[in-house]
Amino acid sequence: EVQLVESGGGLVKPGGSLRLSCAASGFTFSSYSMNWVRQAPGKGLEWVSSISSSSSYIYYADSVKGRFTISRDNAKNSLYLQMNSLRAEDTAVYYCARAVTVTTPDYWGQGTLVTVSS
């Protein structure tokens, strides 16, 4: 059974940093691209970033480019999102998702809430 478990969310002040983690199990992690997708309270889904299976290809939404960094550790079956210079508009539930194409997920984690507020 595919499982994706996010962690690392919380309350952070504007301008602060946070690192999200996603622990994957139930599939060959090193064979899949992975995504981060977020959802602001009461809003729709917004793709944030994608990383290919070997980290050769990395993509970001314009809204986070230069502030967020996606990475992965295939030996640890883990995906990460380093978020710097956080803004109020980054407040959202952040989902880790396995990708069937670069920006098309199939399995999703349950999400972790990031709140940016003073």
Partner 1 sequence: SSELTQDPAVSVALGQTVRITCQGDSLRSYYASWYQQKPGQAPVLVIYGKNNRPSGIPDRFSGSSSGNTASLTITGAQAEDEADYYCNSRDSSGNPFGGGTKLTVL
Q: How far is it, in rounded angstroms, from Cα 8 to Cα 10?
A: 7
Of 12-20, 25-33, 37-45, 79-87, the segment contacting partner 1 by CB under 8 A is 37-45
Which amino acid would we find at residue 13? K
Backbone angles phi, psi at 4, to 5 degrees: -130, 120
Supply the minimum distance, in Å, between the C-beta of residue 32 and partner 1: 14
Query: Taking CB under 8 A as the rule, does residue 109 contact partner 1?
Result: yes
Query: Taking CB under 8 A as the rule, does residue 5 contact partner 1?
Result: no
Question: Encoding tokens for residue 55?
Answer: 């980290």
Query: Taking CB under 8 A as the rule, does residue 108 contact partner 1?
Result: yes
Q: Is 89 helix (H, G, I), strand (E, B) or coil?
A: helix
Chain residues that interact with partner 1, rule: CB under 8 A: 37, 44-47, 61, 95, 100-111
